[in-house]
Amino acid sequence: MNFKIYLASRSPRRGELLGQIGIGFDVLPSDVDESVLPDEAPEHYVMRLAKEKASVCVQRLIEQDLPVLPVLAADTTVCIDGMIIGKPEDDADAAAMLRRMSDRWHVVHTAVAVADRDRVVVALSSTQVELAPLSDTDIAAYIASGEPRDKAGSYGIQGLAGTFIRRIEGSYSGVMGLPVYETAQLLKQFGAVLP
């Protein structure tokens, strides 16, 4: 690990992806209001949240007189028909989301922000994802696995739901929640030496 940051996320997937590119980190969770603003476009929503999460964490480090290493934050949302689909409230909500996306394309937007005392930089990854047709039996079995909980759009591409993904156009790691290319480009701006 040649470079160390704070990760403003408890997501194990984001941690794994950072590890794959040789970035060491300590988890520094952020606490921001994730409500969507009136008439806010999905792309602007994730970019705003990523930036707010990173900035809040830097401010906390300054207030607590801790070393201010770069802070990386990310936010992911699923969008279909121009509407943001967040994490499911319960199993019935997850089933409704999956039925709506069945046999259709949707977009996964993930924004990444890196901040320090002096600046915040943000990048956006948008990926088109096509789900196969899902029967009620498919959906019920997937929900019974517990995997849809706490995932934007009620699925995780890296898990069982990978069998539902017919095609993607864009970043696989972006759909997972941390687009590796965009993340590496931002971290290089803060001094990370990456291939």
pLDDT tens for residues 73-107? 999 999 999 889 988 999 999 999 999 999 999 99
Of the chain, the end-to-end C-alpha distance in Å amounts to: 13
The residues facing 123 across adjacent strands are 112
Range of the domain at 181: 3-189
Average predicted confidence (pLDDT) for the chain: 93
Is 75 considered catalytic here? yes
pLDDT at 193: 81
pLDDT at 192: 85
Residue 173 resides in a domain: yes
Residue 194 resides in a domain: no
159 and 147 Cβ atoms separated by less than 8 Å: yes
Measured between alpha carbons, how far is 61 from 56 in angstroms, rounded to an integer?
9
Query: What does the block give as tokens for 68?
Result: 């201010």
Chain centroid to Cα 55, Å, comes to: 17
Residue 31 resides in a domain: yes
Residues of the chain with pLDDT under 50: 1
Residue 195 resides in a domain: no
pLDDT at 29: 87
Residue 55 resides in a domain: yes
Residue 167 resides in a domain: yes
The residues facing 78 across adjacent strands are 85, 108
User: Could you give the residue ranges of the DSSP H alpha helices within the chain?
Assistant: 12-20, 42-63, 91-101, 136-144, 172-176, 180-189
Task: Look at the chain and report how many structural domains it folds into.
Answer: 1
Largest CA distance in the chain: 54
Tokens 């969770």 sit at which residue? 29
What predicted TM-score, i.e. pTM, was given to this entire model?
Answer: 0.92
Catalytic residue among 65, 75, 93, 138: 75
Measured between alpha carbons, how far is 13 from 4 in angstroms, rounded to an integer?
17
Q: What is the CATH number of the domain that holds 114?
A: 3.90.950.10
Residue 61 resides in a domain: yes
